[in-house]
């Protein structure tokens, strides 16, 4: 339990694997607490029991970090959505921090306060205005003494750099993750250059989150790592990808898929896909490994189980899961009992069960925008 008292950099500096949590907005939308399109986190105030339960499920699955449910919680985004009229960003931040801390303390986890991209950046590109938005959110987090800060879901490295510069004034550790493809950000800045800019701005941890599937995100983080090495810079690496297969998305991300956001279930990753992802990420030198949209608690458990040898323990949720299907040995059907082995699940090619469905879709405009 001594290691549970370490901060995020202490753990990463020691070579420990830090398991992140999973997706919140999409899981809570499916459960009836978030409105798609808006994706704003007022549920932290309106339905705290739902948010708290999801935190607990991720913690039980093995997550070492509870990220505050504050995605898209900037005042300009809340105002633009029109979905939140009587709840302020400060109220949401306060409630989200309280819940994350409450649950984190139940299992020795860390609390990360997260800020995300703003409508203001695309509309005005005004550095002073955008930074003021991040400063306001940061001040809310500092009142709650969160453990570290996360800059997440940024399509433009310039805006992410501004966020890092602001959050770094807190004196806290800052992690920065972009939602970009191997081709680069929306202004075609290559991943390696993005990583260099973020580290020079003060980021201690850099990586990728959301928008694309795990293996694509691993590729992008590798490019970030190469960029840092060429520049002679060092930073810890982080990854929190989608829990969906998106081989045809390319630059646009999953929002360009015709199935987004209400018919993505057929693209869902299996737990065995996540085992492969966790090993690939670890082998790439990434030590902060988690998930974003589409990642449910059992996916996080798969990360923790795949890397149990490296971490030295299994999560509590593994008490209800036979490793590699071992518990199936008790099944009454012999053909199901035969599946109680790693080789079976590692080599399985799951069927979709949808005879008329294509294996790929045509992304809408490849997700490209003029901004």
Binding-site residues for Zn(2+) sit at 210, 292-293
Strand partners, 178: 154, 208
What are the binding residues?
210, 292-293
Angle between helices 191-201 and 214-231 (to 10 degrees): 60
- Is the distance from CB of 236 to CB of 268 less than 8 angstroms? no
The CB-side HSE value for 59 (13 A sphere, CA atoms) comes to 22
Residues 6+ apart with CB under 8 A from 310: 17, 282
CA 11 vs CA 6, 19, 65, 131, 150: distances in Å: 6, 11, 12, 30, 16
| Sequence-ordered strand ranges (E) for the chain | 18-19, 65-67, 110-116, 148-154, 173-178, 205-209, 236-240, 288-289
């Amino acid at each position: 339990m001594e290691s549970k008292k370490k901060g995020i950099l202490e753990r990463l500096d020691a070579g420990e694997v830090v398991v992140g949590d999973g997706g919140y907005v999409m899981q809570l939308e499916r459960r009836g607490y978030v409105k798609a399109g808006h994706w704003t986190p007022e549920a932290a105030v309106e339905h705290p029991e739902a948010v708290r339960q999801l935190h607990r499920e991720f913690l039980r699955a093995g997550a070492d970090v509870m990220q505050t449910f504050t995605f898209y919680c900037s005042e300009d985004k809340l105002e633009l959505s029109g979905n939140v009229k009587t709840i302020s960003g400060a109220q949401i931040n306060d409630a989200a921090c309280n819940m994350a801390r409450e649950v984190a303390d139940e299992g020795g986890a860390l609390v990360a306060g997260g800020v995300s991209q703003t409508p203001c950046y695309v509309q005005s590109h005004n550095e002073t205005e955008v930074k003021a938005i991040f400063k306001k959110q940061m001040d809310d987090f500092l009142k709650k003494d969160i453990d570290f800060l996360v800059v997440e879901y940024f399509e433009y490295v310039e805006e992410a750099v501004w966020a890092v510069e602001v959050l770094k004034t807190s004196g806290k550790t800052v992690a920065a993750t972009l939602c970009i493809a191997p081709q680069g950000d929306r202004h075609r800045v290559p991943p390696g250059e993005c990583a260099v800019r973020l580290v020079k701005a003060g980021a201690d941890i850099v990586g990728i989150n959301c928008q694309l599937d795990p293996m694509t995100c691993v590729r992008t983080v590798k490019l970030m790592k190469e960029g840092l090495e060429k520049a002679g810079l060092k930073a810890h690496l982080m990854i929190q990808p989608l829990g969906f297969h998106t081989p045809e998305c390319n630059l646009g991300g999953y929002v360009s898929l015709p199935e987004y956001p209400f018919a993505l279930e057929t693209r869902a990753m299996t737990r065995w896909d996540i085992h492969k992802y966790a090993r690939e990420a670890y082998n790439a030198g990434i030590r902060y490994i988690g998930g974003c949209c589409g990642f449910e608690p059992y996916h996080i458990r798969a990360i923790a189980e795949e890397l149990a040898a490296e971490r030295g323990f299994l999560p509590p949720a593994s008490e209800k899961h036979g490793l590699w299907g071992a518990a199936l040995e008790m099944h009454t059907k012999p053909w199901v009992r035969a599946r109680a082995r790693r080789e079976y699940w590692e080599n399985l090619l799951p069927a979709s069960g949808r005879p008329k469905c294509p294996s790929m879709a045509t992304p809408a405009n490849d997700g490209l925008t003029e901004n």
